[in-house]
């Protein structure tokens, strides 16, 4: 029993919010998987000439710069919050501003990837495509944690989080960086050969 005076109505709203977040995450994970599968499947059927391919490469790299640049900025500010150089409210605001850039860039990369004539028989390409799917799902799985963080006081520090929240945040950060760098490096290696 809690000694903090909380009404039943507040408790009910919190539970409904948690359920709606879980439903949202499930729907977004399914949508991301479908979008990824559609992009990969369409890339096998679409073959373009050199001019269209070059345009697709330029757009793909531009979308990469937008999405990954926003990721790096959010992760850097998150690190600064972790060491006590930023307040949580700043991180939440930055994440809210960067989210459309991240997801818009990722959607653009999936759309332009259709026209890049990927070599799906190459194991490195398969690793790259798997990394893109994992980083998409990883980003979606951060939604519940970010919503919880947004409800904390603005001066909360990393040490104020529960062990589970800290582990969730650090594992998502590690997975995100690992997948992004893997996809980028393989993409540039494949472009050379």
Query: What residues in the chain have per-residue pLDDT under 70?
Result: 1-15, 193
Q: Burial of 16 by CB count in 10 Å (0-12 exposed, 13-18 middle, 19+ buried)?
A: exposed
In a domain, 183, yes or no: yes
pLDDT for the residue 12: 65
Residues 6 or more apart in contact with residue 116 via CB below 8 angstroms: 43, 53, 56, 57, 60
Q: Which domain holds residue 162?
A: 49-192
Within-domain flag for 28: no
Alpha carbon separation from 103 to 40, 95, 136, 146 (Å, rounded): 18, 12, 9, 16
* 42 within some domain: no
> What's the confidence (pLDDT) of residue 192?
76
Do the Cβ atoms of 124 and 186 come closer than 8 Å? Answer: yes
Q: Residue 56: what pLDDT?
A: 96
> Does 7 fall in a domain?
no
d(CA 154, CA 149): 9
In a domain, 9, yes or no: no
Structure token digits, residue 54: 């070059």
pLDDT at 190: 87
Q: What pLDDT is attached to residue 8? A: 64
Domain count, the chain: 1
User: Is position 61 within any domain?
Assistant: yes
pTM of the shown model = 0.89
pLDDT at 122: 93
Query: Residue 21: inside a domain, yes or no?
Result: no
pLDDT score for 18: 85
Asked if residue 34 is part of any domain, the answer here is no
Phi-psi map region of 21: left, alpha, beta (phi>0 left; psi -120 to 50 alpha): alpha
At 11 the pLDDT is 57
What's phi and psi for 104, nearest 5 deg?
A: -65, -40
């Amino acid at each position: 029993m809690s000694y903090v005076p909380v009404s039943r109505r507040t408790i009910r709203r919190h539970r409904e919010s948690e359920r709606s977040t879980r439903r949202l995450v499930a729907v977004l994970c399914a949508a991301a998987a479908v979008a990824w599968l559609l992009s990969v499947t369409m890339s096998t059927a679409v073959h373009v000439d050199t001019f269209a391919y070059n345009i697709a490469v330029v757009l793909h790299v531009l979308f990469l710069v937008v999405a990954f640049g926003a990721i790096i900025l959010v992760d850097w500010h998150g690190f600064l919050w972790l060491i006590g150089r930023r307040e949580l409210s700043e991180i939440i605001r930055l994440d809210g501003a960067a989210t459309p850039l991240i997801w818009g860039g990722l959607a653009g990369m999936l759309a332009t990837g259709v026209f890049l004539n990927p070599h799906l028989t190459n194991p490195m390409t398969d690793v790259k495509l798997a990394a893109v799917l994992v980083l998409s799902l990883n980003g979606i799985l951060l939604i519940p944690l970010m919503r919880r963080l947004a409800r904390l006081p603005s001066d909360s520090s990393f040490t104020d989080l529960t062990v589970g929240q800290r582990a969730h945040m650090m594992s998502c950060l590690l997975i995100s960086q690992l997948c992004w760098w893997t996809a980028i490096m393989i993409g540039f290696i494949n472009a050379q050969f």
